[in-house]
Structure 1
Amino acid sequence: MVFEKETRAVSPTHPPAAWIGGKRQLASRLVGMISAIPHVTYAEPFVGMGGVFFRRTAAPKSEVINDRNGEVVNLFRILQRHYPQFMDTLKFQITSRREFERLKACDPATLTDLERAGRFLYLQKLAFGGKVNGQNFGVSPGRPASFNLARLAPMLEEVHERLAGVILENLNWSVFLDRYDRAETLFYLDPPYFGSEDDYGKTLFSRDQFAALAKRLRGIRGRFILSINDVPEIRETFGGFALHEAKLTYSLSAGKATPARELIITNGLS
């Protein structure tokens, strides 16, 4: 079945904060692949900070983004629906190691949704390397503070505008796939890297779910693009799909870089 491409142009913007595995280097290639596939619904089950979602230049009629991390979904919901009030909560926030540690130790369940979103954004902006678990206060001599409202406000306004009309979900990836799988759906999946499953939370995605994910993707009606690290276990698990190699460079804490390989996995995309 062929679907007419009915998309509107959208302005790419930066994700609201850093995120481990944020796909900055792969984004342009992935965006090109996404744009080449006609679809009515665009759906991301592992959106994170939206490293690909926000860098796209065209959008179909329907867009759905999802993450099991409730802090992610709460931030996007607040930015989508309560942007002015959210900016008021950030107005007097300062960059401080002591404030970082205070908020890190704070139980988000004790906060309002606005306070929760502010806490999460503050920690992600200042955490070294965009880490989600085991966060450390990130500071680099000779560079300005990462949490600077004068620079942050225009970008958050762009994120607010980009989220207009987008459906937000907080589901397990398998439930999300079941709910939105249609012949006209294109899924972009960015699961945790193999061997780094705990980086996003120990209970969110376990290693045995890679096999379950591959099995589920073999039966979907729609199309998918999945990006992940290139290791033998992934090649075996996702055998039978089209595997596209990507060579990248990962930055290290010492300022050096190391070569890396990733895979872009698809069904029926040449």
Structure 2
Amino acid sequence: MTKTSADMRHHKKPIISPLRYPGGKAALYPRLREIVRTNSMTSGTYVEPYAGGAGAALGLLVTDQVRRIVINDLDPAVYAFWRATKENAAEISKLIHSVDLTVREWSRQKEIYLTAPRDDYLKLGFATFYLNRTNRSGVLNGGPIGGMDQTGKYKIDARFNRETLSERFRLISLHAKRITVTNTDGLALIKKYSKMDDALIYADPPYFEKAGSLYLNSFTDAHHAALAKCLNSVKDSKWLLTYDNVPQVANLYSDRRRELFSLNYSAHRVTKANEIMVFSDSLTLS
């Protein structure tokens, strides 16, 4: 059964994540907060197997809606960013204030992003962050805002407010001990935390449509099917899932409750997209 949700809009939401993500889910904070409270999960662990910008997770953490969060991303560059954020937020803040916002520096950071050792978390993580904040729509494999010749309406520094970004890292650092950062397969993480009574899993995988241009780790049909098999097999655990509203979702999750919602979506242009949320059987919905 599918219903339309109107209570996901027109609410204030904390903006904590330093990353820009197309289709980021920080806007779902009010709905997720409601689910956490309704299911008495405020002392539990909130898990994002496909974290990306982790906007919703960080919002729930810093407002004390949950006790702990798990940020997981299989992309080694995104993982390096979150690992560095947890362990070296002060160093990142220093770099934010000193780094040049020029095409020359952009090219240098791009080279670091492509060639830095995967375990040099600070170097790779900062390069990932730099490109995310200076690229069009935050897409890591895109070009700089304003173009290489900087003749566009907006320039490379348009989304790089040093003070605002530094404050976000400072705020995250205050809660670092309550953050777990992992770099593992999403299905393995779901299987692990689905066994824990105090865990709420929010899966936000790469979507069916346009995923290839937005995510470095896109899903094939087989990946989508494997995720559905995994989640449906733990229907009595507490989890929810968001997807683009395509027929495949209704087919893969035909036995689960589903709910339509709208989000503003920014990738090259701002649009409002209808998406769908799927719920495990054990979640209580108000």
Give the TM-score category using the shorter length.
0.7 to 0.9
2:188 is aligned with 1:175: yes
* Match status 1:127 vs 2:149: no
User: Given the superposition, is the C-alpha separation of residues 76 and 50 from structure 1 closer, same or farther in structure 2, using an over 3 Å criterion?
Assistant: same
Secondary structure of 1:174's aligned partner: helix
Letter in 1 for 2:135: A
Contact 2:46/2:200 (8 A) holds in 1: yes
Find the aligned partners of 1:196 and 1:169 in 2 and give their Cα distance.
26
Preserved contact between residue 89 and residue 114 of structure 1 (Cα < 8 Å) = no
Q: Secondary structure at the match of 1:27?
A: helix
The equivalent of 1:117 in structure 2 is: 125
Question: CA offsets per residue over residues 84-129 of structure 1, 9 Å max, x none?
Answer: 2333334420111222133223334348332212111111111111
In 1, Cα distance between equivalents of 2:201 and 2:97: 37
Tell me the residue number matched to 1:188: 202
From 217, 226, 236, the counterpart of 2:251:
236
Superposition deviation, residue 46 in structure 1: 0.8
| d(CA) in 1 for partners of 2:221, 2:107 | 31
Does the 8 Å contact 1:126/1:137 carry over to 2?
A: yes
SS of aligned partner of 1:82? helix
Is 1:44 matched with 2:48?
yes
Q: How does 1:151-166 map to 2 (within 5 A)?
A: 151-166=164-179
Matched residue, 2:30: 28
Structure 1 residue 66, shift from structure 2 partner: 0.8
Write the letter of the residue equivalent to 2:69.
E
Provide the rounded CA distance (Å) in 2 between the counterparts of 1:243 and 1:194: 17
What is the rounded CA distance, in whole Å, between the counterparts of 1:61 and 1:29 in structure 2?
18
The structure whose RCO (Cα within 8 Å, separation 6+) is larger is 2
How far apart, CA to CA, are the structure 2 residues paired with 1:247 and 1:67?
25
Structure-2 residue corresponding to 1:4: none
Distance apart, 1:24 and its partner CA: 4.0
Whole-angstrom CA distance in 2 between matches of 1:89 and 1:12:
24
User: Which AA in structure 1 matches 2:258?
Assistant: L
Gaps of 5+ in 2: 1-12, 147-151
Could you tell me which amino acid in structure 2 is paired with residue 171 of structure 1?
Answer: T
- Distance in 2 (CA, whole Å) between partners of 1:99 and 1:215 is 45
After superposition, the Cα gap between the structure-2 partners of 1:172 and 1:36, relative to the gap in structure 1 and judged at 3 Å, is: same
1:26 corresponds to which letter in structure 2? L
Deviation at 1:169, TM superposition (A): 1.0
User: Which whole-Å CA distance do the structure 1 matches of 2:68 and 2:266 have between them?
Assistant: 35
Change over 3 Å in CA distance of 1:125–1:247 after alignment to 2: same
- Among residues 264, 267, 270, which one is paired with 2:277 in the alignment? 264
Alignment equivalent of 1:141, drawn from 138, 153, 158: 153
Query: How big is the alpha-carbon RMSD for the aligned residues of Structure 1 and Structure 2?
Result: 2.5
TM-score by length of 2: 0.80
Matched, 1:103 2:118: no
Alignment gaps of 5+ in structure 1 = 1-10
C-alpha spacing 1:95/1:65, structure 2 compared with 1 (3 Å): same
SS at match of 1:164: helix
Q: For residue 122 of structure 2, what is the amino acid of its counterpart?
A: L
Query: Which residue pairs with 2:17 in the alignment?
Result: 15
Please name the residue that 1:73 is paired with. Answer: 79
Aligned partners of 2:39 and 2:27: how far apart in 1?
21
More helix by share: 2
Q: 1:42 to 1:259 in 2, by over 3 A?
A: closer
The aligned runs of 1:218-229 (5 Å cut-off) are 218-220=232-234, 221-229=236-244
Summarize deviations over 1:116-158 as a string: whole Å, max 9, x none: 12111111111111213x3111246368632232332112111
Q: Which residue pairs with 1:86 in the alignment? A: 92
Mean CA deviation greater in 63-72 or 17-26: 17-26
Q: State the 1:223 CA deviation.
A: 0.7
